[in-house]
Amino acid sequence: MKIAGLRWWIVVLLFLAAVLNYVDRQTLSALAPTIQADLGMDDRDYANIVNIFLVAYTLSYLVSGKLADRIGTRGSMVLFVAWWSVANMLTAAAHGIRSLGAYRFLLGLGEAGVWPAASRAVSEWLPARERALAIGIYTMGATAGATVAPYVVIPLASFPYAEKFPLVQSVLGAGAGWRIAFVLTGAAGLAWLLPWLWLYRLPRQSPYLGDDERRLISEAEALTRDADEGAPWTWGRIFGSRVVWLLLLGRLLTDPAWYFYQFWFPKYLNAERGLSQQALTITWVVYAAAGVGSLLGGWLSGRLVRRGIDPPASRMWVMVGCACLMPLSSLIPAADSTAAAMAITSIVVIASLAWLINLGSLVIDLIPRHSLGTVFGVVAAGSTIGGMLMNTLVATMVSGPATKPAGFLDQSVQAVFGWVLDAVAGKGYAQWFILMSILHPIALLMLFFGGAHRPHRADNQPAA
């Protein structure tokens, strides 16, 4: 049996994996007020839990990319999805800050792996002119998951289990609703493994690939075969690569904007604009905008490639437009109404995700396939480091000076950036919105003058 457009069915499976990835991730932030009340957590505790997740995410990026390169896309994706799904289900057993942190750490170890594995799948199945759109589609899965999560998990958390299902209440105890949410969303990931195992093979091994599509993929592969030859990159070559450092720093500077909308924006709406737990379902607007940005960013750079512009340069042109829109961030806290704030936020998020899609596409454009997963993981580690810095900074802005002993993450950041934290402590969210307005323009200048847009594969010459 041949399946028409099989490469796009592969992209659909990546999309669904990203949906599940973000549903599992966003379950905590969507239910943060409820879980914080049940477990006695303040905002600094919440920030530390998020940072613990991001520490695991960072460590996993460094290992999972290499693992994906070694065992292949199919097997590595099975490992990552199964791991994070079980970890998410285990979160239902959390009864304090330490246990919650342990389960979120396990979740982070699994969730990071999907992105280097997905980048390998795109490089194996899609020609260059379709890659940014494919990345946009599966990244839209992340935003779709974040959009769906509040509508799934908030009703689960609010359901009267003691009255309707007393057995469930007696087994799970206090917080039965949010615990059920973690169990069910984790189980969905295990169900995803069945179609993936059935459908995914390398193009040359797939019994479902039609002749015309096989020829298209083979022709695209031939264009990059020379650049992809040679031994896999060593750690020394990776960390000695100018392009790798440019891409890593680009994500470190700009990904914190998207992390903020995932982890803190619902709390901002609750604390600064008075939205209730139920009213936070309005965040679907933000995630829908992120989906638009994911598709638009991939489609625009794909159009430029079709017009004959080199893929890296096409990504940079789209990123220029995105960087010009990001200064609108500074207007969000001053907006007169929640509706106006959400409208401005939507524009900013569209630009942020279109930027992210094209920055991710640059990695695939510039790095040989044999080392793509490893390098993608290293570059993405910059993202999570930036996210951890953002979490600590925003927590300090909204909470003021610490009243509890600092954890090891807070101590580490305080040692390096203590003077910055002291300057912004207790001054609210507005400062962060202003800072977000300049991060992308700074990163754009760094990438441009560093030469990331130039039409070449990354560091083709042997490392010195």
From first to last of the 464 residues of the chain, give the pLDDT tens digit.
788 888 899 999 999 999 999 898 888 888 887 888 888 888 778 878 888 888 898 888 888 888 988 888 999 999 999 999 999 999 988 888 899 999 999 999 999 899 889 988 988 888 878 888 888 888 888 878 877 888 888 887 776 666 666 666 666 666 667 888 898 889 999 999 999 999 998 888 888 888 888 887 776 665 555 455 567 788 889 889 999 999 999 999 999 999 898 878 888 898 888 888 778 778 888 888 988 998 899 889 988 988 888 888 999 999 999 999 999 999 999 999 999 999 999 999 999 999 999 998 888 888 887 888 888 888 988 888 888 888 888 888 887 655 555 555 566 666 666 656 666 777 788 889 999 999 999 999 999 998 876 644 455 443 33
User: Tokens 């470190």 sit at which residue?
Assistant: 252
Q: What is the pLDDT of residue 405?
A: 53
Contact 76, 67 (CB under 8 A): yes
Q: What is the pLDDT of residue 142?
A: 82
- Single-letter residue type at 410: D
180: left (phi over 0), alpha (psi -120 to 50) or beta: alpha
80 vs 252: CA distance, rounded Å: 23
Q: What is the pLDDT of residue 410?
A: 61
User: In whole angstroms, how far apart are CA 141 and each of 96, 197, 352?
Assistant: 31, 20, 16
Q: Which tokens sit at 443?
A: 């990163």
Specify the CATH superfamily of domain 6-450.
MFS general substrate transporter like domains (1.20.1250.20)
Q: Where are the beta strands (DSSP E) in 211-368?
A: none
Tell me which H or E stretch contains 177. Answer: helix 176-199
48 vs 409: CA distance, rounded Å: 8
353 vs 141: CA distance, rounded Å: 12
CB-based contacts of 260: which residues, under 8 Å, 6+ apart? 390, 394, 432, 436
Q: What is the pLDDT of residue 356?
A: 93
> Rg of the chain over CA atoms, in angstroms?
22
